[in-house]
Each structure stands twice: as structure tokens, then as C-alpha cells.
Structure 1
Amino acid sequence: MDKIIRGKAYKFGNNIDTDQIYPGRYLELTEPAAIARHALEGADPAFCTRFQPGGIVVGGTNFGCGSSREHAAIALQSAGVSLVVAESFARIFFRNAINLGLPLLVCPGIANRVQEGDELEVNLETGTVQNLTRGEEYRGERLSAYVLNILAAGGIKPLMRAKFEKRAL
């Protein structure tokens, strides 16, 4: 996992819930490619047709509120979202995303500073967000070494698998 992520911003507002990120009517889908086709469909039905993999989702407050289902994070990750930067996250969504290896960054005020299509460069280690389009820098909350370790492993399952395999040797 790169600690520096660069991509085009796709902007959303406050209280984007898990049903907007991945509508519950698609819960029977199991293949990541099929799940990806419905990412953020509840908030923007055209998102998947205009989204370019590697893009960065920017949200307001309480991103990922709602149910505790992992499908929301899976949908974003499967669609190719490289990172979600928001003013705040629902606690369960934050943990689900990190556990699945999808980087998130809390950055107060980000929703009022970034416009759709801005080119962003985010340093997960320092918590800084560079808006390359506007020549601005914003301070987010640094991710802990523990969280960075989970992300570097590709999620909590690969991290634990590697840890237990190492012990078995």
C-alpha cells in the first residue's frame, strides 16, 4: 500500500449512509465486480459511469453512517476507490473499511475546500492533503502505526494470516 495516494476528487455531502454507498437491494451479489457496479448508487446513480479507478471520494460529516454491513466498504474498494477523505466517519464504517484494507482519512473542513474533479495528493502517514488543482494544503488526522500496518497488509485478515503463518514456521 502506498502511503501517498493521488487521484481525482469525487465529492459527496454529509450523512452519506451505507445504503447510499451500497443499496441493500443488492446484498445477494457476491462477486466484487458485480458489487462495484452499484457503488454510491444511492447517492449518485451515475457515479460508476463517470468514476475513474484510483479516484478519491471526498465526503462531509458522518460518512458511512447507517448499518454495520461491510458491503459499503467492499463496494467502494471493488469500484477502485483508492481512498475516502471525509470530515468524520461513522465508527463502524471506519473500522470495516480499515479492516478490509480501504484507506480512510479524517480531515476537518475538507468538504468546503475541495471541488469535484480537483486533483488531490494525500499522505496517510502525515495526514496532509495537497489540493494540486488549487495549490492548497489541508491538515487531516494522522493514521496510527497500527492502522497503517493493517492497510499495508491489505486488511486485517491478510495481516493475521501472515502473523500466524510466521508463528507456524
Structure 2
Amino acid sequence: MDTIIQGKAYVLGKNIDTDQIIPAEHLVYSLSDPEEVKLYGKYALSGVPPEQGGLPQGNIPFVTEGTFHSDYTIIVAGPNFGCGSSREHAPFALQVAGAKAIVAESYARIFYRNCVDGGFVIPYETSVPLTGVIKTGDELKIDIEANTVTNLETNITFTLNPLGDVFSIVRAGGIFAYARQENLMAQS
């Protein structure tokens, strides 16, 4: 995994819950069948109310109808992203759809841990609300080593909270892969 993530922003509001990230009706697909796994990408963020999807305009789907992959690689959100149930499928669905990172004001703790433990997406936190200064479709660049996000449309850079070991864990593919890589657990 590169230390630069560049791509289009998808902006959401506050309190985006796990049922909005991947509605319960779509939890029936196999996690090991490649054809069914694609459906998690297809339905990622499909439960977000239309007026909240793709702010500030609203009514912009995260995944275009008839596809399995999003054009948006960086999600920007308000506080309490991933609240609701402890659904591990939520960060998995975002990863399958092509999301590489989320930049939110805060996270539900279990969602944050699921992002990291499964090695799905990088969950950055920001002390500065970005949902009013970044809009859906803006080209962003996250510099993981500098802990910054730059809006390439406006050339404004914002500082993000440091990740600590989170990037290394996500890059390794999750907590168990990281533990094996760092010789923190017995090899099998």
C-alpha cells in the first residue's frame, strides 16, 4: 500500500450508521464467493438517504447503478461515522467498492476497530470539520506520512490526526497479519 492516496471525495453528513453503509438485506452474500463479494461493493452506502449522499449536492449515488465499484476512493464524513450495529461487513463493503480511506470527525469505536482489525480501509480522524469545505467529486490527496489531506481543487491542505500503528496494521492486511509480520504471535 502506497503512502499517498489520491482520488475523488464522497462527502456524507453525521451519524452515518452501519445499516446505511450496507443495509441488512444485503448481508446474505457469501464472503468467500468472488461473484457474491462484488455485491457488497454494489450495495455499499446504498442505505444512505438520497439527500445525504454526495454532499453538498445530495442525491449522488456512491456506486453507479449497474456497477460494483465506486468512482470515489476517499469518504469524507461528519461525526459518529459507522454508528449502529457492530457489523464487520460495513468496512468490508466500502473496501470492495474501492474506498481506500475515510476522513471523519469521529467514529463509532467498533466500526473504527473493524476497519483496522480487518485491514479494510484507513480510518483517519480530523479535528476540523471538512464536510463544509470539501464537496463530492473534489480530487483529494492524502499523504499518510505527513498526516494531511489536500483538496487539489482548492489547493488547501488540512492536518489529520496521526494514525499511530493503524496504517501498518491496515497495510499488513489486518491485525492478525500484522501480528504475524511483526512476530507478535506464533507462526502457523
TM-score (norm 1): 0.89
- Which residue in the other structure is 1:59 paired with? 77
Structure 2, gaps ≥5 residues long: 31-35, 54-59
Query: Aligned-residue CA RMSD in angstroms?
Result: 2.1
> 1:151 and 1:9, CA in 2 relative to 1: closer, same or farther beyond 3 A?
same
Does 153-162 or 79-88 show the bigger shift? 153-162
Is it true that 1:131 corresponds to 2:151 in the alignment?
yes
Equivalent residues of 2:43, 2:63 under 8 A apart: yes
- Which residue in the other structure is 2:109 paired with? 91
How far 1:148 moved relative to its partner? 2.0
* Number of equivalences: 167
Distance of 2:135 and 2:156 partners within structure 1: 12
Q: Which structure shows the higher helix fraction?
A: 1
Is it true that 1:34 corresponds to 2:39 in the alignment?
yes
Distance of 1:98 and 1:124 partners within structure 2: 15
Q: Deviations over 1:70-92 (max 9, x none)?
A: 01001000111111111111111
Matches within 5 A, 1:11-160: 11-30=11-30, 31-43=36-48, 44=53, 46-49=61-64, 51-52=70-71, 55-101=73-119, 102-107=121-126, 108-144=128-164, 146-160=165-179
Identical aligned residues as a percent: 43
Distance of 1:124 and 1:111 partners within structure 2: 20
Write the letter of the residue equivalent to 1:71.
Answer: H
SS in 2 for 1:149: helix
SS in 2 for 1:75: helix
How far 1:32 moved relative to its partner? 2.0
Write the letter of the residue equivalent to 1:33.
Answer: K
SS in 2 for 1:113: coil
Runs of 4+ in 1 over 3 A off after TM superposition: 160-169
Q: Deviations over 1:72-127 (max 9, x none)?
A: 00100011111111111111101101112211111131112111111111122332
SS in 1 for 2:150: strand
TM-score (norm 2): 0.81
Structure 1, gaps ≥5 residues long: none
Distance of 2:187 and 2:90 partners within structure 1: 34
Equivalent residues of 1:32, 1:74 under 8 A apart: no
